[in-house]
Chains A and B, each alone.
Chain A
């Protein structure tokens, strides 16, 4: 039993260990931010690498906690994401007065996400979702001297409280309709009657809030704009990734029997999300708001893949999230470096960036091309597989709309590319001296964007996991 416990929960245990280590360091003797950050980066790298060892299948606590190869891989994606965040924003983190607290909050949220992905029970699911949300709201307030940051935090608390309420209501309805909250037992008891559908709708609404699916997306842009960029990137990449994974489990495992009922809904929401996200992104001037809306559009594509309800759906969604981690974090990393040194966050400030900062410009361009789905970047493969998975049910009208959405998104991604490469600026952003850790993070992201797609074994590996 103890052996099982240690092995199956090893990812969570390692994370908890790092968390307590940070707490001890915090109360212990003074240590400079540089050294502490280097230590944290090392620990997070260790955590990421450790994620690939001792992978076991099994469940604990009467099915409340389950794990298998795919779940372990999903956790590795998240570990990779937080490692990249610790690298990319090291300039900002070093200057922060509360570095240990930041990572304590961040790791608590990630711990919540790990339990979330592993949860096999609606109660566990709810608890871990709260653990994954509340620390993030505190993190959103991390620019302590900025009013807009507190506003972001407040908006985030309110919207997540609302979605938690909706979620709890949904859970109680499911319990009422089926008499169980275990993921293993619910499917057999689903027959698609009215109460169950109502329960499903409430449950899905909570997901929609967290994933900012249209029409539950209104909190996103304000929160993203107000939070520090490191937190924004965490919210839009890591949080969304984790929620996507559990949505995948919930829809494919728990609600598989009523697939016919949710298929059309998910497909429709996917297309609406894409269109609205894209149309709003067209007019944004602030890079953070811009990335917020573009991430809404990306979620639309994820939903398209999910709607297929097939093994291809699982693997292409996980694959896309992996690619999304690299591409979006690279874009946020560049935005963070520029905002940190030059204090500029508007797209028009990026004019002429290529003249002064070629490396950053190429990283930004690569990440934008990947987000837009242009070959040879990984985003092309990710998006294409999502669309192909979505097309397997033959709903060509929606598929065409999705494909046409790629044109709209290309337009606004090219807007930034044009500003960076083509436009001239009398006062371009000065040459930025990147921290070596930031540079490393950008190089990892760039390499990931180029090679994850071209090397097909990454996808094959995910496919074997999702069998």
Chain B
């Protein structure tokens, strides 16, 4: 399996979209491109499993290395481990669903799909790069498409939200850049190569300086408290597919970076600051949950609950046990699928009712049974119902967290656990008000989901249920990679 395909395929799709003339052609070429990505991701997944089953125990599989700026010790070094494969699968699921739900974008269709595909290009490149320079390159590629998606196709205070998002993410990447330079010059040898750096003894002082820079820098992407403020504005102003990509893929870039770059390369730094991470993520979890209780707008509800759910990712990383880190990765995948589906459903409802206010809705189950069913599924997944992916991921994080026996970790874990109750309150209330009760007259003529919306929802639900009922495959995929990271952190 040649990993460059994951970059070349979106690039090719983008070129084809540029050449297309009518909106219909653009849509279909984007759909075909996204399906090809989807198939490619599945092929990668099975090829990876096959290699592992054959006993290939290398840390990274399908490695490739091309010369690129050799004078700066940069190379186009690609490779995947279990965590990357899981993230690539997630990206492929969200991309195809995102392309499907935006089927009726009429304004500047070509540019819209072009930006979506460019965003997916950035995400794939980020997850497969083993060189910190190209990792940073792909991280930043994705910033401008997000800005334009919100600014052009968004709603509400989109100018403000787009600016805030672009500047905060850029600020995050500026910190990441300084941290990466510290790594480049701090080791025994100047290099950006992730595997070389991981084998190097990086001085403790450098680790203590660079870890906060990298962790906070990547943390901005994944709504680390108190740098989460772009999340509610950005998500609620973005168009449906934009929100799906933002919450489903883009926030995961940060989590992946925190884990792969900050924690893995700087174990001393990770141990030094782990408690602060735990405190911040526990605050994010609780604050996000309580803030969601006060929201009346469906998109804001999901945006704040994303802050809360992404807190579990950082909490899992901060707990520094193998199970907790595996749980963090599973939470990334689970939350990516779930939140993408949630935003998709909200988009479908908004398109029909022209409101996102929970108070103005009611009884929608009578006219759109399919959409409300999806809403129920995604809501139950969000509050952690067993059998769906949310339960599996959060449970794994809690189990991992509980392995730390001291009172500090216990208290933080219990505090995070309590958020589940709050989640249940706001999710059930929102769903109940939307779907149940008497229906207003003006909604009686509304239509249920069209084929494209149904297909998008089914793809994402399939992912959620596949993780929820048979979590073993994801666990088996992620745990060995988490173990390697953990061994490095434990100093073995």
Contacts and interface: CB of A to CB of B under 8 A. Distances in A.
Nearest to A415: B163
Interface string A401-432: 00110110011001001100110000000000
Contacts of B209: 396
B67 A456 contact: yes
Nearest to B151: A422
Interface string A376-415: 1000110011011001101010011001101100110010
Contacts of B72: 312, 385, 388
Given A396-B209, A407-B171, A421-B148, A460 B177 contact: no
B144 interface: yes
A15 to B, nearest CB: 32
Interface stretch (B24-32, B135-143, B286-294): B135-143
Interface in B172-187: 174-175, 177-178, 181-182, 184-185
Interface in B125-159: 133, 137-138, 140-141, 143-144, 147-148, 151-152, 158-159
Nearest to B66: A456
A343 interface: no
B455 interface: no
Contacts of B143: 374
Given A403-B175, A406-B174, A460 B70 contact: yes
B144 A369 contact: yes
A374 B140 contact: yes
A459 interface: yes
Contact of A375 (B68, B71, B140): B140
Given A407-B167, A410-B170, A391 B185 contact: yes
A315 interface: yes
Contacts of B163: 411, 414, 418
A68 interface: no
Given A396-B178, A418-B159, A376 B137 contact: yes
B239 to A, nearest CB: 13
A388 B184 contact: yes
Given A376-B137, A391-B181, A422 B159 contact: yes
A406 B170 contact: yes
Nearest to A462: B71
Contacts of B140: 374-375, 380
Contacts of B459: none
B473 interface: no
B451 interface: no
A463 B71 CA distance: 8
B147 A375 contact: no
B171 A404 contact: yes
A456 B71 CA distance: 10
B144 A374 contact: yes
Contact of B137 (A375, A391, A407, A460): A375
A411 B167 contact: yes
Nearest to A358: B111
B137 A380 contact: yes
Give the size range of A's interface with the partner.
20 to 34
A396 B174 contact: no
A406 B185 CA distance: 21
B439 interface: no
B152 A422 contact: yes
A455 to B, nearest CB: 10
Contact of A418 (B68, B151, B170, B177): B151
B69 A399 contact: no
A375 B175 contact: no
Nearest to B150: A422
B26 to A, nearest CB: 15
B213 to A, nearest CB: 8
Interface centre among A369, A392, A414 (most CB of B within 10 A): A414
A456 B175 CA distance: 25
A387 B181 contact: yes
B152 A403 contact: no
B177 A384 contact: yes
B166 interface: yes
Contacts of B138: 375
Interface in B40-76: 67-72
Given A410-B166, A411-B167, A456 B69 contact: yes
Nearest to B75: A456
Interface centre among A374, A404, A459 (most CB of B within 10 A): A374
Given A375-B141, A376-B141, A418-B159, A400 B71 contact: no
B149 to A, nearest CB: 11
A421 B67 contact: no
A315 B71 CA distance: 10
Nearest to B133: A384
Nearest to A383: B177
Nearest to B176: A403
Given A414-B163, A421-B152, A422-B151, A403 B144 contact: no
Contacts of A387: 177, 181
B71 A403 contact: no
Contacts of A407: 167, 170-171, 174
A459 B69 contact: yes
Contacts of A369: 144
A385 B74 CA distance: 11
Interface centre among B70, B72, B171 (most CB of A within 10 A): B72
A406 B167 CA distance: 10
Contact of B174 (A374, A388, A403, A460): A403
B386 to A, nearest CB: 43
Interface in A268-323: 312, 315
A411 B171 CA distance: 11
Interface in A423-467: 456, 459-460, 463
Contacts of A414: 147, 163, 166
A312 B71 contact: yes
A464 B377 CA distance: 61
Given A399-B178, A407-B167, A418-B159, A456 B144 contact: no
A417 B140 CA distance: 17
A301 B270 CA distance: 32
Contacts of B184: 388, 391
Contacts of A418: 151, 159, 162-163
A390 to B, nearest CB: 9
Contacts of A417: 147-148
A380 B184 CA distance: 18
Nearest to B154: A422
Contact of A403 (B68, B158, B178, B185): B178
B354 to A, nearest CB: 21
Interface string A173-197: 0000000000000000000000000
Contacts of A388: 72, 181, 184
A374 B147 CA distance: 12
A388 B182 CA distance: 10
Nearest to A311: B71
Contacts of A406: 170, 174
Contacts of B70: 456, 460
B125 to A, nearest CB: 10
Nearest to A392: B185
Contacts of A404: 171, 174
A418 B70 CA distance: 37
Interface string A356-380: 0000000000000100001110001
Contacts of A394: 185
A18 B117 CA distance: 49
Nearest to B213: A400
7 contacts: A374-B140, A375-B141, A387-B177, A403-B175, A406-B170, A422-B151, A422-B162
Given A396-B181, A422-B152, A422-B158, 19 more contacts: A312-B71, A315-B71, A369-B144, A375-B137, A376-B137, A380-B137, A384-B177, A387-B181, A388-B184, A391-B185, A396-B182, A400-B175, A403-B177, A404-B174, A406-B170, A417-B147, A422-B159, A456-B70, A459-B69
Q: Which 10 A-B pairs have the closest CB atoms?
A: A403-B174, A391-B181, A422-B151, A463-B71, A456-B69, A407-B170, A375-B137, A456-B68, A375-B141, A375-B140
